[in-house]
């Protein structure tokens, strides 16, 4: 069941039949975790021919209103109002993932060390994105969040000084990682030098204020934060060269550390969750499927958060492991697989009850488990 604010946003854009179809498709995505039209058509609960079900789904995915701006942005607005206090700036991450013939650039919102997708664009090419494509995917997000303070984060693909200058023009805070081959001018009296030629001490943060990052004129000056971790157990890490318009070095480092939250998102979209690699739809239907995935992904994340709050996540998966400082599973994983665990118990309730009756010595544990199931159901 979709939350009330999801229903309100979706019903304003869809007819009743389209809204029910969307609800069914989201439920199928949560259950099957396979993003192929053939698979969805096979399981779609409608008593018509298979080919008719397939064409019905294709027509639905071709609806003009199944876009992030029309369907997903209103939900994101309500999401932010409910889950962000406004005391700290939002962190946005722009990144790109590529597999087979798909090349996807995405902007996401950091939420509890994970990322929630905001906007995306399918690139009709292989390789890195251009400045024009980066601006095209970012502009709707800037307009969506114009009432909020936020910091844009990007890796070495988004290091262009043109993008940084554009962010300054839009009054957007940013932190972009620079390649070590970038040349800068630390002082007006110095010559241009490569970043990896700068003096650097592992474990010590260096900051350069108002430096020229390109030999081309007209792009202004920005700040640079340099940080390299200390070597630990013979492991070396690359230095961070961070271009930013933030003033504090620690604030810059703390902000950029949130950039890595988008990597688990891509994994959850692909092999770790919805198996997006199996999808071979055309660009229009593929974009509509991504809208459905964004809805399903956010729902599982909310449900996993509620399951954790009820302290019953240990019934869904392994929570802690020896010598592991972080949780093994995210809120998304807990929410998705909590639902999957309950469904077989309901489907085979007669056999499950019979099995429990054959183990009377385990009755106290079964009773606690049944109470946990009730709490998980209330969170879904």
Average pLDDT over every residue of 89-115 = 87
Rounded to the nearest integer, the mean pLDDT of the chain is 83
CATH number of 69-265: 3.90.350.10
- pLDDT per position as a tens digit, 330-342: 777 787 778 777 8
Predicted local confidence at residue 355, as pLDDT: 84
Q: In degrees rounded to 5, what are phi and psi of residue 286?
A: -60, -40
**CA separation, residue 322 to residues 103, 224, 232, 264, 327 (Å):** 38, 39, 20, 22, 11
Q: Binning pLDDT at 50, 70 and 90, where does residue 227 land?
A: confident
Dihedral angle, C-alpha 45, 51, 54, 56, nearest 10 °: -80
pLDDT score at 212: 76
**Residue range 153-168: mean pLDDT, rounded:** 84
Using alpha carbons, select from 289, 358, 303 the residue that is nearest to residue 335: 303
DSSP result, 196-228: GGS---TT--EEEEEEB--SSSSS--EEEEEE-
Confidence of residue 235 (pLDDT cuts 50, 70, 90): low
Q: Which two tokens stand for residue 62?
A: 């071709």
* pLDDT of amino acid 237: 67
The pLDDT confidence band at residue 93, using thresholds 50, 70 and 90, is very high
Per-residue model confidence as pLDDT tens digits over 103-113 = 889 999 988 77
* Annotated domain spans of the chain: 69-265, 311-379
pLDDT band at 114 (very low <50, low <70, confident <90, very high): confident
User: CB count, 10 Å around CB of 168?
Assistant: 15
Q: Does residue 316 contact residue 94 with C-beta atoms inside 8 Å?
A: no
347 neighbors 339 (Cβ within 8 angstroms):
no
pTM over 0.95: no
pLDDT score recorded for residue 3: 84
Could you please report the per-residue DSSP string of 34-87? ---HHHHHHH---SS-HHHHHHHHHHHHT-TT-SIIIIIHHHHHHHHHHH--SS
């Amino acid at each position: 069941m979709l939350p009330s604010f999801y229903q309100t946003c979706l019903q304003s854009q869809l007819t009743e039949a389209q809204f029910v179809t969307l609800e069914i498709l989201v439920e199928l995505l949560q259950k099957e975790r396979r993003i192929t039209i053939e698979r969805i058509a096979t399981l779609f609960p409608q008593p018509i021919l298979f080919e008719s079900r397939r064409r019905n789904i294709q027509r639905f995915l071709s609806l003009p209103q199944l876009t992030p701006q029309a369907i997903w942005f209103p939900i994101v607005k309500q999401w932010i109002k409910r889950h962000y206090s406004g005391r700290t700036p939002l962190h946005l991450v722009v990144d790109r993932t590529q597999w087979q013939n798909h090349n996807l650039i995405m902007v996401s919102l950091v939420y509890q060390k994970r990322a929630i997708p905001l906007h995306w664009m399918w690139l009709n090419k292989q390789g890195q994105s251009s400045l024009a494509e980066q601006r095209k995917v970012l502009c709707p997000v800037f307009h969506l969040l114009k009432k909020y303070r936020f910091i844009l984060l990007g890796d070495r693909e988004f290091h262009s000084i043109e993008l940084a200058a554009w962010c300054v023009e839009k009054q957007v805070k940013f932190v972009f990682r620079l390649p070590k081959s970038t040349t800068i001018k630390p002082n007006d009296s110095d010559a241009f030098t490569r970043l990896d030629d700068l003096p650097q001490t592992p474990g010590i943060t260096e900051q350069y204020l108002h430096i020229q990052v390109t030999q081309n004129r007209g792009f202004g000056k920005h700040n640079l934060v340099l940080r390299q971790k200390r070597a630990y157990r013979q492991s070396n890490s690359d230095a961070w060269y961070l271009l930013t318009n933030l003033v504090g070095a620690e604030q810059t480092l703390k902000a950029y550390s949130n950039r890595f939250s988008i990597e688990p998102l891509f994994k959850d979209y692909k092999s770790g969750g919805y198996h997006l690699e199996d999808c071979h739809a055309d660009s229009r239907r593929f974009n509509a499927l991504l809208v459905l995935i964004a809805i399903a992904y956010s729902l599982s994340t909310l449900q996993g958060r509620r399951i954790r709050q009820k302290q019953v996540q240990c019934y869904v998966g392994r929570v802690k492991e020896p010598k592991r400082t972080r949780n093994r599973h995210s809120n998304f994983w807990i929410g998705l697989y909590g639902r999957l665990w309950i469904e077989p118990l309901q489907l085979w309730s007669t056999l499950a009850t019979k099995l429990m009756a054959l183990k009377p010595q385990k009755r106290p544990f079964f009773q606690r488990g049944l109470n946990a199931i009730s709490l998980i159901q209330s969170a879904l």
